[in-house]
Amino acid sequence: MNREEALSLVKEQVQNKNLIKHMLAAEAVMGRLAEHLGQDRELWELAGLLHDVDYDRTVDRPEQHGLLGARLLEEKGCPPELVHAVKAHNEALAVAAETLLDKALYAVDPVTGLLVAAALIHPEKKLSAIDVDFILNRFKEKSFARGADRGQIESCAGFGLSLEQLLALSLEAMQGIAKELGL
């Protein structure tokens, strides 16, 4: 599956525009991480773009999130490592994050929301207005971006990145598509 086909599938399966923006952000961040870690950029970007493809159908059944998407992606001929990463990104499925791709997607999923929240509380409401120090200060505030699981983000240590490195690479990637994200 190429990016055009993946984006078409996302638009067919996902109605929520903010969720699509999240998936685009995850695609950008995963691509930047792949580049930094010497991995297959195209595969990693597809994993980021497609990881929530079943969310609209599983929003009320979190124990199914990732399973339906994985089945759909398998049917579409996606590589097994991408399919596994989609399943492993949802802790509720208890699918072990085994590969670098699995671990990265697991950490990236909440980091995109953290960065969006950080941009939105800044007076300029732009990704270009924030930096890693700004994000780190907010990261420590328990009431800020509660949905962004800090432990999940900090799991980046499991694939060789410090929190600061993950935030810097993620911010850089998302700033690169800020117009698409409306930030």
For the chain, list the domains and their CATH numbers: 3-178 (1.10.3210)
Residues 135-183: tens digit of each pLDDT: 999 998 989 999 999 999 999 999 999 999 999 999 999 999 999 999 9
Task: Report phi then psi at 159, rounded to 5.
Answer: -125, 25
Residues 61-110: tens digit of each pLDDT: 999 999 999 999 999 999 999 999 999 999 889 899 999 999 999 999 99
Q: What is the pTM of this model?
A: 0.96
Q: Give the E-state strand segments of 18-140 in sequence order.
A: none
Residues 17-52: tens digit of each pLDDT: 999 999 999 999 999 999 999 999 999 999 999 999
Contact 115, 174 (CB under 8 A): yes
- The residue type found at 58 is T
Helix, strand, coil shares of the chain, percent, nearest 5, are 70, 0, 30
